[in-house]
Chain A
Amino acid sequence: MSAMECEREFEIVEAVTCGRWPEGTTDELQAHAAACAVCADVVKVAVALTNDRADRLQMARVPSAGLVWWRAEMRARRDAVNRATRPLQIVEWTAVICMVAVLGTVLYWVGPTELAGLLWEPSLAFFIGIGVLILLSSLVYYFVFSGD
Chain B
Amino acid sequence: MRELTYSELDRLQAKALESDETLQMDQDTFSGMYERTARPLWVFLWRRTGDSQLADDLLQETYYRFLRTPNVFENEAHRKNYLYRIAANLAHDTYRAQIPHSSLPDEREPGHPATPSADIEQTERRTDLNRAMSRLKPRQRDALWLAYAEGASHEEIARALGLKTNSVKLLLFRARRKLANLLRGERTLQ
Chain A positions within 8 Å of B, measured between CB atoms, are: 4-5, 10, 13-14, 16-18, 40-42, 44-46, 48-53, 55-57, 59-63, 65-66, 68-69, 71-73, 75-77, 79-81, 83-85, 88-89, 92, 141, 145, 147
User: Total contacts A to B, CB within 8 angstroms?
Assistant: 142
Contact A63 B148 (CB under 8 A): no
Contact A80 B19 (CB under 8 A): yes
User: Which chain B positions have C-beta within 8 A of A48?
Assistant: 125, 129, 179, 183
With A48-B129, A50-B149, A71-B60 as contacts: A66 and B4 at CB distance below 8 Å: no
The total of chain B residues at the interface (CB under 8 A) is 58
- Complex formed: what's the CA distance from A61 to B42 in Å? 8
Contact A13 B180 (CB under 8 A): no
Contact B16 A40 (CB under 8 A): no
Instruction: Mark each residue of chain B from 20 to 36: 1 if its CB lies under 8 Å from any CB of chain A, else 0.
Output: 01110001001100110
Contact B13 A53 (CB under 8 A): no
- Complex formed: what's the CA distance from A71 to B57 in Å? 12
Contact A60 B15 (CB under 8 A): no
User: Which chain A positions have C-beta within 8 A of B173?
Assistant: 4-5
